[in-house]
Structure 1
Amino acid sequence: MIISFETHDLHECCCRIESAEEKFGSLHAQALATLIADAEAFESAAELIDFLGADAIPNQDDSLSVAIGSDYQAKFVAAGVRFARNDEGRVIWSSVQRLKLVEISP
């Protein structure tokens, strides 16, 4: 999958371990780096969701919440236009090959 970032700050935190450590601490910085690497290794968001199990929760607003350690949540949305929706208009995660990280919150 391809991961993009909503803001420059999020990009810095995910691409520079020093930035993530300053903002989230060493343990959570490593967990964040691992999450991004894992996400990039899969073909679709559904594969990531299956891999992460209970740590990945598809939300009613078609975002995806993923636990980063025990203290933080990353929120992703499907990016681009090349993904499918079901009859109710919900994202079909198996069709999502691009995710955008929109926030990291406690």
Structure 2
Amino acid sequence: MIVSFHTQELQELCLVMNVAETKLGRIDALAMVTMIADVEAQDNCLELLQYFADDAKCLRPPEIVIQFGSAMVANFAVSGRRYQLSADGEVDWQTVTRLKLMAVGAQHGT
């Protein structure tokens, strides 16, 4: 998978460990880095959804939310136009290979 970032600030949060540790704490920062590496290791979103199982869910518009750490979530949006829709107009997750990380934050309702 190819992961891009919605903002420069979000990219720094995800890629600069001392920034992540300051904002999220050490445990959640490490969990976030691991989660992003696991996302990038998958070939497509169907594999991603299978890999993360109960920790990932699909939302509308085509968006994936992944739980990680001690009650944190990452919101990813489908990026690019190189994916297909199924016969019923839903995203064919097997054809999605690009995601944009839109936000990282505390999970609400925990």
TM-score between both structures, scaled by the size of structure 1: 0.93
Point out 4+ residue stretches in structure 1 off by more than 4 angstroms: none
Q: Deviations over 1:19-61 (max 9, x none)?
A: 1111111011001100111111111011111011100011132
Displacement after TM superposition at 1:88 (Å): 3.7
- Once residues 39 and 71 of structure 1 are traced to their aligned partners in structure 2, the CA distance between those partners, rounded to angstroms, is 18
The residue type paired with residue 84 of structure 1 is: Q
- Name the counterpart of 2:69: 69
- Once residues 12 and 21 of structure 1 are traced to their aligned partners in structure 2, the CA distance between those partners, rounded to angstroms, is 11
Displacement after TM superposition at 1:7 (Å): 0.5
Q: How does 1:19-98 map to 2 (within 5 A)?
A: 19-98=19-98
- Once residues 21 and 87 of structure 1 are traced to their aligned partners in structure 2, the CA distance between those partners, rounded to angstroms, is 44
* SS of structure 2 residue aligned to 1:82: coil
- Once residues 66 and 16 of structure 2 are traced to their aligned partners in structure 1, the CA distance between those partners, rounded to angstroms, is 20
The residue type paired with residue 24 of structure 1 is: L
* SS of structure 2 residue aligned to 1:99: strand
Q: CA RMSD in A?
A: 1.1
Unaligned runs of 5+ in 2: none
- Once residues 53 and 79 of structure 2 are traced to their aligned partners in structure 1, the CA distance between those partners, rounded to angstroms, is 22
- Once residues 19 and 49 of structure 1 are traced to their aligned partners in structure 2, the CA distance between those partners, rounded to angstroms, is 28
User: How many residue pairs end up in the alignment?
Assistant: 106
* SS of structure 2 residue aligned to 1:100: strand
- Name the counterpart of 1:16: 16
- Once residues 53 and 68 of structure 2 are traced to their aligned partners in structure 1, the CA distance between those partners, rounded to angstroms, is 13
- Once residues 44 and 32 of structure 1 are traced to their aligned partners in structure 2, the CA distance between those partners, rounded to angstroms, is 19
- Once residues 49 and 7 of structure 1 are traced to their aligned partners in structure 2, the CA distance between those partners, rounded to angstroms, is 24
